[in-house]
Amino acid sequence: MGNYEKWKTLMDAFSGQKPVENMPSFPEVPIVQMVQTLCSIEEQVWGMYAFEREPLEGKISLGQKKQYIKAANECGRSWAKKVMKEYETAQPETIAKKMGIAVKKTARPIGGEIVLFAQFVRPNEITIFTDCIHKANLLEKECDCKILQEDILEKILLSHELFHAVEEKHQKEIYTHTEKIELWKKPFSNRSKIVCLSEIAAMAFAAEIMRLQVSPYMLDILLTYSYDKNAAYGLYEEICSLQAQFHDEAIL
Amino acid sequence: MEYVIGILLLISFVGLAVYAVRGGNLMMGMLIMGVIWTVLPLIGNTFATNPDFVAGYPGVTDISIVDAITRVFQSGPEGWGSVLVNVMFGAWFGRVLLETGIADALIRKAVELGGDKPVIICVLLSTVTTAIFSTLFGAGAVVAIGVIILPILMSLGIPKTLSIGSFMMSVGAGMYLNPVLSGQFLAFFLGEDGKQLITYDDPMRLKWAGIGLAVQLIMVILMCVFSLRKKKTVHAWSASAQRKARPGYVPSIALVAPVLPVVLLVVFHVPIILGFIIGSFFALIACGKLKTFRGACRVLNKDFYDGVVDTAPLVGFLLMIPMFNKAAELCVPYFNALLGNVIPNNTLVISIVFAVLAPLGLFRGPLTLFGCGAATLGILKGIGFSTPYLYALMVIPSITMNVSICMTQSWVAWGVSYAKVSTKEHLKKTLPVAWIVCAVMQLITYVMFG
Ligand SMILES: [Zn+2]
């Protein structure tokens, strides 16, 4: 840090320009090893990872979660088969076109804490943020992980978002929308979807369309890695501890 | 001579505004302005020839240099000592709420009531946020609550601009009642003897603050309902941060802790520092964190330390403001000479002007007390309006424009960069709502104090 930066950091701190944040630092892991481990993580464990981020997590028991994860993965795969059959193609771009979805690409740099990879805006618009794809492409050279290749990665992102479009189109029948839990006590009623089921199913959907042997969920960690290594190590640590927990339970 | 100095003062005022808008360091800005606004009137005093002018402001135009610099650079910051102490205790209380997991539990409860309905979630979370920040203060607290709430809002498909806008404005709504922030405003209204001219528990002021909270919260809720009516929700694939370890068990009774100090203050007239202490101990005991004496000492020590660190970034800026504020008092005769005939001595006109020009509270402009507004207040004080009226008049844009939506507010800047929203998008979403809040509140102020 040069003198100017030091002075500026000091002044910023004192004038309240930047709030103090203490992000813990996580143990570093070589990227090659990280990729290897991530490839071996089961679907069920990724499901638990998704539930860690579910706002209604506190309302659902462990046993229920496991059933939900199974059903959501099934749902994603079966809809992938249905969609590929209906549109007679496994190319996500073609499926999008036939479904009447507008696919946009934006290069907009998207660093910072929330890194966006892609999004689906109701009712029919998908945006892919290409910045993360370019960054991933550089990473691919370091670790030789197929799903980080530019064209494959883009298709995975698109397929994931396509699932949300399919959900939108088949709201009345699709499992991720029909499965609900009751939040209020009788006689009142507020039945809610479980948001993370959509994400679990979307990953399974993308994996099926792209014929992947691994879960696209690992992109969460790998794409974050190119923006913020420490944050990626944090996510990696989380998934590893979930994996360990899962195996302990399996032995018991 | 008065006019020359007056014009030079105005030029420096514009200079500060430009500097602030361009993102200059405000601590430095305030210090430089403090110096300029002390030197200019002192020069003016030396050369003033008009006897009416000199006689018109005893104690200001004939002040000695030593008295002037003492008043600005020594008494000024010292006078804010009490404010600072409140800020520290408030920060400690904030830490306790975060560490015990009470804030987290409160948010979870709200989410578990609302489920996947974006409108209900927005309404519930805005209300909870406002309740929390009616007591809690500090960038650290806003960030800590923000990293819990914002991902929830976004995971439910609520657009980023709305998530940030509604969260920050709910924080702002709570600020109307917030004793720590109010203390900072009240410190602008000290008598000659250093006594407060208006106090936190003044019944009319308190009623006004309650109305302010309600008006802003209702507008935030309306903004959510209106924005989400088209159901243009977003499904984003983004990496989320590592999940936080769940805090321990929080019993339902502990959930009242966030509002406890304010309730004690308003209903039972318990002074706020004692309120913070009672609130902290209540929270710690309810959550079973004080089982052994040694453990209690450790928890207390750590939370207090973390709380004070949270506020450190604010302290420097807070201590420069009173210098500027005191210097502005020296400038009053010159502003009066220049603008006295221009500014109407009529509360209705002033209220309307403040409602229409409310956005000048942004970017440390002339309507926010955390910016050039300190000078505006000095000018208005010279004209002679009642203290409650002036207080309300200036505090509305300071809270609703500056603290709630302005990018120069540290935590708003954090939120906007956290969600990667552009400044333009953010202002487009929030400014119209904030403007309406200001207009409604100025009307209410006119009716109550005008
Ligand atoms: Zn998704």
Alpha-carbon dihedral B226, B231, B237, B241, rounded to 10 degrees:
40
Local confidence band at B383 (pLDDT 50, 70, 90 cut-offs): confident
Alpha-carbon gap, residue B239 to B185, rounded angstroms = 40
CA–CA dist B185, B318 (Å, integer): 11
Q: Give the pLDDT mean for B385-404.
A: 91
Q: Is B249 on the interface with A (CB under 8 A)?
A: no
Into how many domains does chain A fold?
Answer: 1
Contact between B183 and B81 under an 8 Å Cβ cutoff? The reply is: no
Task: Say which of A120, A190, A235 has its CB closest to residue B115.
Answer: A190
For chain A, the average pLDDT equals 82
pTM of the shown model: 0.81
Range(s) of the domain holding residue A143? 3-18+30-251
Most confident of A109-113, B23-27, B381-385: B381-385
Pairwise CB contact (< 8 Å): A121 & B240: no
- B250 vs B103: CA distance, rounded Å: 10
In a domain, residue A198? The reply is yes
Assign B314 a pLDDT band (cuts: 50, 70, 90): low
Among B318-327, B349-358, B386-395, where is mean pLDDT lowest?
Answer: B318-327
Which residues of B are less than 8 Å from A194 in CB distance? Answer: 116
Contact assessment for residue A126 and residue A120, using Cβ atoms and an 8 Å cutoff: yes
Chain B contact for A58 (CB, 8 A cutoff): yes
In Å, how far is B82's CA from the nearest CA of chain A?
19
CA torsion angle A50 A55 A58 A59 (round to 10): -100
- Predicted pLDDT of residue B153: 87
Q: For residue A127, tell me if it sits in a domain.
A: yes
B330 alpha carbon to ligand 1 midpoint, in Å?
60
Query: E strands within A86-238?
Result: 102-106, 115-121, 125-129, 180-182, 191-193
Q: How far, in Å, is the centroid of ligand 1 from the Cα of A150?
A: 20
From A19, A56, A234, residue closest to B143, measured CB to CB: A19
Q: Is residue A112 part of a domain?
A: yes
CB count within 10 Å of CB A240 equals 16
Predicted confidence at residue B246, as pLDDT, reads: 64
Mean pLDDT of B60-83: 84
| Three-state secondary-structure class, residue A9 | helix
Helix ranges restricted to H, B228-362: 260-268, 272-286, 293-339, 347-356
Residue-level pLDDT at B242: 66
Contact between residue B410 and residue B313 where contact means Cβ atoms under 8 Å apart? yes
CB B239 within 8 A of CB A221: yes
Is A24 part of any domain? no
**Alpha helices, DSSP H, located in B100-258:** 102-114, 118-132, 139-155, 160-175, 179-186, 203-227
In this prediction, residue A123 has a pLDDT band, given cuts at 50, 70 and 90, of confident
C-alpha distances (whole Å) from B193 to each of A91, B60, B71, B189, B196 are: 79, 15, 12, 11, 9
Task: Tell me the one-letter amino acid at A198.
Answer: S
B189 to B49, B179, B184, B193, B198: CA distances (angstroms): 31, 15, 10, 11, 7
Q: Can you give the residue ranges of every domain in chain B? A: 2-449
User: What does the alpha-carbon distance between residue B115 and residue A28 come to, in Å, rounded to a whole number?
Assistant: 37
Nearest chain A residue to B158 by CA: give it.
Answer: A121
Q: What is the pLDDT of residues B244-263, one digit of tens each?
A: 666 667 888 888 998 898 88
Q: What is the per-residue pLDDT for B10?
A: 85
CB atoms within 10 A of CB A197: 24
pLDDT score at B197: 82
- Helix B260-268 crosses helix B272-286 at what angle (to 10 degrees)? 140
Tokens 């489920």 sit on residue? B115
Q: A53 lies in a domain?
A: yes
Q: State how far the Cα of B248 lies from the Cα of B246, in Å rounded to an integer.
A: 6
Which residues in chain A touch residue B413, judged by CB atoms under 8 angstroms apart? Answer: 17-18
Write down the ipTM of this complex.
Answer: 0.78
Q: Is the pLDDT of residue B233 over 90?
A: no
Tell me the mean pLDDT in the region B314-329.
Answer: 77
With an 8 Å Cβ cutoff, are A183 and B142 in contact? no
* pLDDT tens digits, one per residue of A162-184: 999 998 888 888 888 888 888 88
- Nearest to B96, CA basis, from B299, B311, B309, B310: B299
